[in-house]
């Protein structure tokens, strides 16, 4: 089991380690008319769809911890894979990039960037995190985009991210298919 904590800021103008605010990440059901208690309850309902481990902070930000099994099975193919590679790459890469590799994990951008831990909260050795990050980066396939390109990928089977570039980002579509195509690999079964 691997644990990854993400943080979302209260402000809609400042951004967190996931690039959005509390309302941007979890406030889809919140309306302008909602009083704070109602808004918070709606946000918590959305958070609980993903994790029961979250913490509100005095500044109105929230940290949400996700715990996932390290080995997962892709139902359509039956293939097993190392599932948390994306969170390890994203979280540990972000921690290193922002100089937040030691407590209190505040980066040079002022955001909270905790490294991934084992599911029980035990720290993962820095050498292991560095190795996993290197393996993820070594296995990356860069796509050289050209005008009118379209890339389709199975979000359950491959890790995806982007590298820095010059220009503006434009998201044309965000798709979700909640058919449960990934499941936990049974404990005690060898891969």
Using pLDDT thresholds of 50, 70 and 90, give the confidence band for residue 13.
very low
d(Cα 8, Cα 14) in Å, to the nearest integer? 9
What's the Rg (C-alpha) of the chain? 18
Q: What is the pLDDT of residue 44?
A: 95
CB 89 within 8 A of CB 129: no
Mean residue pLDDT of the chain comes to 78
User: CB neighbours of 39 closer than 8 A, spacing ≥ 6?
Assistant: 27, 30
d(Cα 66, Cα 63) in Å, to the nearest integer? 10
Q: Percent of the chain beyond pLDDT 90?
A: 13
Using pLDDT thresholds of 50, 70 and 90, give the confidence band for residue 17.
very low
Q: Which of 72, 57, 70, 76 is nearest to 4 (CA)?
A: 70
Q: What is the pLDDT of residue 14?
A: 40
pLDDT(71) > 60 = yes
pTM (predicted TM-score): 0.67
Q: Percent of the chain beyond pLDDT 70?
A: 74
Q: Which of 83, 134, 127 is nearest to 101 (CA)?
A: 127
Q: What is the pLDDT of residue 15?
A: 41
| DSSP character at residue 113 | -
CB 67 within 8 A of CB 2: yes
């Amino acid at each position: 089991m691997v644990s990854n904590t993400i943080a979302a800021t209260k402000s809609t103008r400042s951004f967190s380690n996931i690039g959005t605010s509390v309302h941007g990440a979890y406030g889809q059901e919140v309306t302008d008319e909602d009083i704070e208690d109602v808004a918070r309850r709606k946000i918590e309902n959305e958070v609980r769809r993903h994790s029961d481990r979250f913490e509100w902070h005095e500044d109105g930000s929230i940290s949400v911890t996700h715990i996932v099994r390290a080995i997962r099975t892709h139902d359509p193919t039956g293939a097993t894979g190392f599932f948390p590679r994306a969170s390890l790459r994203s979280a540990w890469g972000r921690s290193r990039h922002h100089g937040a590799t030691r407590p209190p994990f505040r980066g040079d951008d002022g955001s909270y960037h905790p490294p991934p831990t084992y599911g029980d909260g035990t720290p993962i050795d820095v050498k292991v995190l560095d190795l996993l990050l290197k393996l993820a980066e070594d296995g990356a396939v860069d796509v050289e985009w050209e005008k009118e390109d379209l890339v389709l990928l199975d979000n359950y089977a491959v890790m995806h991210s982007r590298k820095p570039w010059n220009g503006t980002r434009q998201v044309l579509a965000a798709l979700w298919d909640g058919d449960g195509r990934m499941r936990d690999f049974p404990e005690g079964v060898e891969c």
